[in-house]
Amino acid sequence: MTEALVRPAGDAPQWDMEVDVLVIGAGACGMAAAIAAHDAGAQVAIVEKRERPGGNSSLSTGSVPGAGSRFQREAGIVDSADVMIADLQRIAGESDLPALTQRMARISAELCEWLVDSVGARMALITDYCHVGHTIPRLHAPVSRRGQDLVDDLVAAVERREIPLAVNNPVQTLYLDAKGAVVGAGIGGPGVEPSRIGARNVILASNGFAANRALVAEYCGEIAGAEYFGALGSEGEAVLWARQLGARLANMQAYQGYAAVAYPHGSLLSWTTIEKGGVLVNARGERFGNEDIGYSAYARHVLAQDTNVYAIFDERIMQLASKEDEFRELVEYGGLKKATSVAELAAFFKLPADTLGATLEAFNAAAGGQAADAFGRARFGMAPLTGQLWICRVTPGLFHTQGGLAVDDNARVLRDDGTAIPGLFAGGGAAAGISGRAGAGGYASGNGLLTAIALGYLAGRTAAADTHAATAA
Ligand SMILES: Cc1cc2nc3c(=O)[nH]c(=O)nc-3n(C[C@H](O)[C@H](O)[C@H](O)COP(=O)(O)OP(=O)(O)OC[C@H]3O[C@@H](n4cnc5c(N)ncnc54)[C@H](O)[C@@H]3O)c2cc1C
């Protein structure tokens, strides 16, 4: 792990290189920030700790919500930022930074259009489903549902602009001037004399702390026992810098979980399979909750089971989910098993056929409106389940943390007293999220990439404007 230090720059700092805007981290946040800053006239550089850009953004499904986008209008979908704010607040509940949710929703349509028009991202509106937390189809995503495609498009946009992007360059030190403004960063591993880059503005785009087990145990203890399924770079340097800087940390106990990582393949079992009518059962063949609370919130319930857990759905749902590349690959790799009867389905994993049969019968009765669901599920998608059935063993995962540095409307990092730290911005997983104060239940689909790309976009534009203002003064 990179050491996280904050040091005085000294009276006459010697920089190895100087830029207007230095971006730390080359995920969706960092590349969006760099593109926005460059397009607003700033001289920008990106430094990335790992051997390639992408971070968690590469592993995501690339879904970004946009309320009131022109793509929605073209599809005849009526939506607005106000409806999105209501949706996000409903699912997130209390937040340390309520204004951030409003800012993100109000800029979300512009953001999706900017991604397509200025960045050249190959994204389209998803009209098949709303996904967790949204009442209107507003997620825009690569057709493949692969975040890697979005990352590839961001990298191509960075390259077209000839923005330097240096991989294998971990930032360990932030430098401050005598007034407490951030004026540069030092690159290098522990024990190595850092190379020093001077910058009028520094943007923290280094994601959260999900790969740092000690920080996860400290802030998100309820999911500390789950495996982390994200990129290795998310080691929480931004939190460690924030503590030394006196920056305010917010929503620190919030995180995104995932209830159904296919085991042992390690790829996502698309939540479409559950949302559209599938169920999760334990090794006793019993359901154990209302799956409809969403893939993030339900992760804790899967983790609480003392047995293996399995997802079950039918052929029609399987065909629908097969529109997604990752799901199709999982099927091709043999990650799912197909059966023509409940007894055959149960036999794959030695589940008790009688109990499983009774579980599915009760679920189908609830889905068909003949009985109330034992766990209060109200939305059943295409269920009752019928015909050939599919089964997949799943495990719960931690995907990313949602707590981080408190920021203002333009992604400036705030101190505990509410003033901004001059020269410092944060976005994406490095900044506080919009998924509520604690737990995984507040996560709506797209919250991760929305705060990554929107705060990056705002940070980049504002940092460029600050640079112009300082130069003109
Ligand atoms: C499997 C999975 C699926 C997901 N699906 C979705 C989805 O569909 N929609 C959604 O909104 N969110 C999703 N998320 C969450 C989403 O991926 C993240 O919230 C988002 O990608 C964060 O973007 P970022 O730019 O802040 O971080 P990242 O993309 O992780 O980029 C941060 C970069 O900073 C680098 N870095 C870290 N420390 C340093 C340092 N000291 N010096 C230099 N570089 C550093 C890292 O190596 C990394 O490359 C998913 C997450 C996972 C794991």
Domains by residue range for the chain, with CATH:
5-251+402-472 (3.50.50.60), 256-398 (3.90.700.10)
> Given the CA of residue 145, which atom of ligand 1 is nearest to it?
8
Q: What does the pLDDT look like over 298-343, one tens digit per residue?
A: 999 999 999 999 999 999 999 999 988 889 999 999 999 999 999 9
Q: Which residues line ligand 1 (CB under 6 A)?
A: 2, 24-30, 47-50, 54-57, 59-63, 170-171, 205-207, 229-231, 233-234, 237, 256, 399-400, 428-429, 446-450, 452
pLDDT tens digits, residue range 372-388?
Answer: 999 999 999 999 999 99
- In this prediction the pTM is 0.90
How confident is the model over 284-305, as a mean pLDDT? Answer: 94
Whose Cα sits closest to atom 6 in ligand 1?
60
Residue nearest to atom 9 of ligand 1 (CA): 446
d(CA 348, CA 388): 14
**Nearest to 199, CA basis, from 187, 209, 208, 210:** 187
What does DSSP say about strands 17-24 and 249-250: parallel, antiparallel, or unpaired? unpaired
Q: What is the pLDDT of residues 59-69, one digit of tens each?
A: 998 999 999 99
If pLDDT is split at 50, 70 and 90, which confidence band does 473 have?
confident
Instruction: Give residue 370's pLDDT.
Output: 97
Phi, psi dihedral angles at 189 (to 5 degrees): -80, 175
- Indicate if the pLDDT at residue 191 is higher than 80: no
